[in-house]
Structures are given as C-alpha cells and as structure tokens.
Amino acid sequence: MNISFIPAQIAYLVPVLTFLILAKLLSNRNILRRRRRRPMLDGSGYGVLITGCDSGFGHQLALRLDRRGFVVFAGCLFPDGTGATNLAQSSSSNLKILKLDVTSDEQVQHAKMMVQEQLPEKGLWAVVNNAGVTDWAEIEWSTTEDFQSMLDINLMGCIRTTIAFLPLVRAAKGRMVFMSSILAFFYCLNMSAYSVSKRGLEAFADCLRVEMASFGVKVSIVQPGNFGPATSIVKPKTAQDIWNKLNEQQKKTFNLQYVEQVVGYVAAMHRSGFKDANVVVDAMLHAVTSEQPKPRYLLVSFIDMFFFKMFPFLPTGLSDAVFSLSSMYTQRETTLYAE
C-alpha cells in the first residue's frame, strides 16, 4: 500500500465506519432491551453439555444452568480434581460430572454414550464448547508442536465434540455455543498460536451456523477481551524459562533484555484485565437460553467496543500501524539485536 494514500483512506473510512458502528451499537442496545423483556428458556427437561468445567467460565456456567433446572453434563479434564469436586458439591443431582478430554476421540465418544444414557425427556438442548488453553510466545520461540498442541485443544477439540453431539442438538433444534476471543480477529505480538486456533474456530462456527439454520439450530460465538485475572488462564512464565529454550542464534536476535521486557509487558497486560467473569457467563447463558441469541457476543469495555468494531474494516497498512502506538513495539525495535 502506498503510504501517501492512507490519509485519504482514513478521511473516507472514519466517518463512514463511525456512523455504521454507532448505528449498530444503538441497534444492539435496543435489541438487548427487547430481549431482556422476553422470558428465557425454562431448563426443565433439557440437557446441556459444557466442556472445560474444571474452572473458569465453564465451571460458573454449569452452576448457573443447574440452578435454572437444566440437566448439566459438565465435562472435566480431571473428574476427581478439586474443581470437579467443588462443582459436584455446589450443585444439585441434575449436574453430572463427565471425564472429558476433548483431544481424545475415545473420551468424546464415551461422553456421548453417557449423555445418551442419561438424556432428559426433551433431549440435548445445547453444547457449549468452552474447553481451551492459552499461551504466548513469539513465533520464532515456538515449535510446530506448540502450534499443534494449541490447535488440538482449541480447534480440533471443538470440532471433535461438535461432530459427535450435533445430531442430538439438531434433534432438539437447540444451540451450539463456541468460546472464542477477540484475538480471533485482533492479531498482536506473541499470540500467534492462540490466534490461529481461535480464528479457525470462528471459521468453523460460521460455516456451522449457515448449515444449521436449515434445521433450526442457532450457533453463537463468544468473544471475550482480556479476562485473564478472572480465569487465571494465562500461566506465568519467567524470562529464564523462555531464554533456556532458545538456541544460540535466537539468543543473538532476541537478547535476554528483550525477553525480560516481553515477560513484564505480558504480566502487566494480564493484570489489567477484567477481574469479574460474570459478563462472559451472562453472555454464555444468554446464548443458551434466549429466544434470540446473538451470532456473536463481543465482550470488551464500552470504550474499547468502538475500536474492536472498527478494527476488522481498517486497511491492512493502517491496522498494522496501530501496533506502532504500543510501548512494547517501540521497545522491540530498539532492543532486538542489542548486546
């Protein structure tokens, strides 16, 4: 892109996008007001499968749906672990703990058999594909195995679970819900593997939504922003942890000073996130129980909402330039290759 054309593009795009986004936000606000007046689905007689219930969003959603009368099949990676034990103790007899590793075909099929054996009279209303992991690293710090591991859980795990349980949800004309992230469309430093997995997930969910419309099944994607403190999903790592995995050539390019700066930046970003997960759980609950669930739930602050609504429409040169405003990006250019 010729840089001389960027000001003209901005002059054209900004007022148009501002009008469209504000109109969309106002429309969404009015729709949400109407939706709040409508009764939500009574869970009595319906089943819901949720993956990733050991902790975080899935754990909280399982409790909320249990209180609404659903028969909840709570998939847990560690069914004898602290999270699953607490879940069982805090819920009614309608909540069933299932051992479920979404990377395992055998466990997914076994979970399907268990669900079918205990299915309530009105069938399986929804599957909430919530299980997922996150990690961060520069692409050159990563291996193909790092990418494969992320994809196996965040993408293939959802596909595997969806294909297995879709006939049951289709029979009930129910819901498929997918936990994604703003990083599915907002690319940034150090999050490539996670972004790839979530962008693939959204492509799958979008195709599924179009196909399932003919059967009366509604598909929703939940896109949280930074909810790290609310879920503890980001595992801490030290600069030395990263440094020890680099080869000599990488150490010459990404010196220890830069690695330390990245670790500090990621930790600060993590601390700045939302500490309350309720807004995400509310969106998941709405996607499962509302008469008219949204195709997408973008969950960021009101101020950030405008930026993230506009970002996908920016020319590539302009969206790339956004990162030059980041202090980390500036430090990166001055620190790389430094002795």
What does the pLDDT look like over 37-86, one tens digit per residue?
555 788 899 999 999 999 999 999 999 999 999 999 999 999 999 999 99
16 found inside a domain: no
243 found inside a domain: no
Place of tokens 């609404």: 68
User: Judging by beta carbons within 10 Å of its beta carbon (0-12, 13-18, 19+), is residue 133 exposed, middle or buried?
Assistant: middle
The amino acid at residue 117 is: E
> Is residue 5 very low, low, confident or very high in pLDDT (cuts 50, 70, 90)?
very low
259 found inside a domain: no
Predicted local confidence at residue 48, as pLDDT = 98
What is the pairing mode between strands 124-129 and 296-299? Answer: unpaired
93: pLDDT strictly greater than 90: yes
113 found inside a domain: yes
244 found inside a domain: no
Place of tokens 């679970």: 161
322 found inside a domain: no
**pLDDT (tens digit, 9 = 90+) per residue, 202-219?**
999 999 999 999 999 999
Q: How many domains would you assign to the chain?
A: 1
Is the full-model pTM beyond 0.95? no
330 found inside a domain: no
Predicted local confidence at residue 4, as pLDDT = 34
CATH number, domain of 102, equals: 3.40.50.720
Which among 262, 180, 189 has a CA at the least distance from the CA of 227? 180
> Is residue 134 very low, low, confident or very high in pLDDT (cuts 50, 70, 90)?
very high
Rg over alpha carbons for the chain, rounded to the nearest Å, is 22
2 found inside a domain: no
271 alpha-carbon distance from chain centroid:
18
The domain in which residue 97 lies consists of 38-234+276-292
Angle between the 302-310 and 6-37 helix axes, to the nearest 10 degrees? Answer: 130
* Catalytic residue of the set 46, 194, 258, 297: 194
The answer to whether residue 297 is catalytic is: no
The C-alpha angle 261, 262, 264, rounded to 5 degrees, equals 65
State whether residue 268 is helix, strand or coil.
helix
